[in-house]
Chain A
């Protein structure tokens, strides 16, 4: 697509200072309203004329959505907290380095200085057919261009697909699932708490969105429970370039251990499916077992069971297998 260097098409800009006002503005504009966090995903959509909201509701002025505080159990992170703040936060670094690691792997310093945790996990997929405005399933059409015989699908999914084969782009998402984070979502009348694992949804549930958030819902806070504080963590992201890039495959894992024995584990891989994939079978395999090379190898093999690569992304199988193997090996 040609790069357009001119004005973003016009929209009303609403800058509420409270969550109540934001929800009211969202209700007022309905489908025509666009909720803006850091904006780094949004502006591309606007500049390319693929999404043309009537009004943009900028959350940047809502102080109650910013900052990290000590909750009754663990940490409470406002959805508009920047990734840089998370990377630098003392308690995140000392108790939940998994999250700091994942946040540090997002894009570039400038993007982390502006991009928010809420925005990072709510961003849309990077499938270029979809982002170029093709009328695919996800965009309300009736085909998937990325799974067509001649399609370029090197970065697409090898599992968890249902018509759409796009992958979840978020670096922090697998870390939040591994930490068993809770997402607080406010609606006009009620507030709901979702497990991170259920917050991200696949195309089989709803092909037009990547999270449970529907029009009128606002992700306000992410709680990191104390249960996994100071666990043994492993994070690794493989990408084509050393900065800026989305993951090809990434792994985020948390282990409770006694010596080399794994008492409990949460292992999550991203970049292989339309949502972060929690590897239940691998977790069952490693729980209560002493980690060694043989266990790591077996974990890797089990991780990729049932994967169905497309024409150009077969490499993701060994990549995923090896990342899971490394995660388990890190306990040994």
Chain B
């Protein structure tokens, strides 16, 4: 009976996407565990100021307890420990912007910061933009929906985070200012013109609130 149930679970609930995720998560944990054990013999307490691994992060308004290696980037933690896979890893070199998240409202590259550096900060990912109670989209998301800005949209979460930072700071940008504000994100489909339409529409929505 139990066997039949679990078999059923596998068939219905285990999509390809979830399976791949779990394999990646296991891989990440296994390899990182190796690195940690393989590191120097100094314990976490040996040097004043060295970090504890079990920490609390504030992600999308929620307190999340999570076990984080000292050498782990925020994008890794978000994707493979907290399952917030809206944050994409493109280049992993601060060169493409797909991993852009907001740290205390400021857009930064999640691939190029250590999770332990943002313990006290408020982290916002693409998953945290909609209203948590009603599911209503944020103004920027609404603008992207209206303007249909992206083709493959792998870069979209990063762009949307940068747009969010932009409209919060300057809801009245010129098109050139918007381009400058989004110049840290790449779109390989080359959809920049439509993406700028989204940014200008988002600013327009922000002004009308």
Binding site for B on A (CB under 8 A): 3-17, 21, 25, 28, 39-40, 43-44, 46-47, 54-56, 58, 60, 84, 107-111, 113-114, 242-244
A-B pairs with beta carbons under 8 Å apart, 10 shown: A3-B91, A9-B35, A10-B38, A15-B49, A15-B117, A25-B47, A44-B94, A47-B92, A108-B184, A243-B180
Q: Report the bound CA distance from A174 to B169 in whole Å.
A: 30
CB distance from A64 to the nearest CB of B (A): 15
B91: nearest chain-A partner, CB-CB = A3
Q: Which B residues from 10 to 41 make CB contacts under 8 A with A?
A: 28, 31-32, 35-36, 38-40
B94 touches A110 (CB 8 A): yes
Q: Which of B48, B70, B108, B165 contacts A13 (CB 8 A)?
A: B70
0 or 1 for each of B104-133: is its CB under 8 Å from A? (1 = yes): 001111011110110000000000000000
CB proximity of B106 to chain A, nearest CB, Å: 5
In the complex the two chains form, is A7's CB within 8 Å of B113's CB?
no
B52 to nearest A CB, angstroms?
A: 10
Known contacts A40-B94, A110-B108: A5-B89 contact under CB 8 Å: yes
A274 CB, min distance to chain B CBs, angstroms: 24
Query: How far is A108 from B182 in the complex, measured between Cα atoms in Å?
Result: 8
Among B71-79, B136-144, B147-155, the stretch that binds chain A is B71-79
Taking the complex as formed, is B69 at the interface, i.e. its CB lies under 8 A from any CB of chain A? yes
A10 touches B35 (CB 8 A): yes
Complex CA distance for A7 and B117, rounded to whole angstroms: 16
Is residue B6 within 8 Å, beta carbon to beta carbon, of the partner chain?
Answer: no
Q: A7-B76, A111-B94 in contact; A244/B71 too (CB < 8 A)?
A: no
Given contacts A13-B71, A108-B184, A114-B109, 12 further A-B contacts (CB under 8 A): A7-B71, A10-B71, A13-B70, A14-B47, A14-B51, A25-B47, A54-B40, A108-B97, A109-B165, A110-B107, A111-B109, A244-B95
Residue among A5, A9, A13, A21 with max Cβ neighbours from chain B (10 Å): A13
Q: How far is the CA of A15 from the CA of B106 in the complex (A)?
A: 22
Residues of B within 8 A of A47 (CB): 92-93
Interchain nearest-CB distance for A26 vs B (Å):
12
Given the interface pairs A39-B114, A243-B183, the reply to whether A113 lies near B49 with Cβ below 8 Å is no
Residue of B with least CB distance to A29: B47
Contacts of A12 in B (CB 8 A): 39-40, 42, 47, 50, 70
Interface residues of B (CB under 8 A from A): 28, 31-32, 35-36, 38-40, 42, 47-51, 69-73, 76, 89, 91-95, 97, 100, 106-109, 111-114, 116-117, 162, 165, 180-184
Of A7, A56, A244, the residue contacting B32 (CB under 8 A) is: A7
Q: Hey, which chain A residues are within 8 Å of B89, CB to CB? A: 5
B184 contact from A6, A10, A55, A110, Cβ within 8 A: A110
* A110 adjacent to B100 (CB under 8 Å): yes
Give the CA-CA distance A8 to B39 in the complex, in Å.
Answer: 12
Contacts of A114 in B (CB 8 A): 108-109, 112-113
B53: nearest chain-A partner, CB-CB:
A13
- Shortest CB distance B73–A (Å): 7
- Selected from B50, B72, B162, the residue in CB contact (under 8 A) with A14 is B50
**In the assembly, what is the distance between CA of A44 and CA of B95, in Å?**
11
CB distance from A44 to the nearest CB of B (A): 6
B42 CB to closest chain A CB (Å) equals: 6
What CA separation (Å) do A301 and B195 show in the bound complex?
A: 44
Q: Which residues in B have their C-beta under 8 angstroms from that of A39?
A: 112-114, 117
Contact residues in A for B70 (Cβ distance below 8 Å):
10-13, 56
Which A residues are CB-close (under 8 A) to B114?
13, 39, 56, 58
Task: With CB as the reference atom, state the residue of chain B lying closest to A9.
Answer: B35
Q: Please indicate which of the listed interface residues B69, B76, B184 has the most CB atoms of chain A within 10 Å of its own CB.
A: B184
On whether the beta carbons of A28 and B47 are closer than 8 Å, the reply is yes
Q: How far is the CA of A278 from the CA of B31 in the complex (A)?
A: 49
Chain B residues with CB under 8 A of A242: 183
Inter-chain CA distance A292–B142, complex, in Å, is 55
Q: Are A10 and B28 in contact (CB under 8 A)?
A: no
Shortest CB-to-CB span from A70 to chain B, Å, is: 25
Q: Which A-B residue pairs are the 8 nearest by beta carbons?
A: A108-B184, A13-B70, A243-B183, A10-B39, A10-B35, A110-B184, A8-B71, A14-B49
When the two chains form their complex, are residues A13 and B50 in contact, meaning their CB atoms are under 8 A apart? yes
Residue numbers in B under 8 Å from A60 (CB-CB): 117
Alpha-carbon separation in the docked complex, A111 to B107 (Å): 9
Neighbouring A residues of B42 by C-beta, 8 Å:
12
* A109 in contact with B38 (CB, 8 Å): no
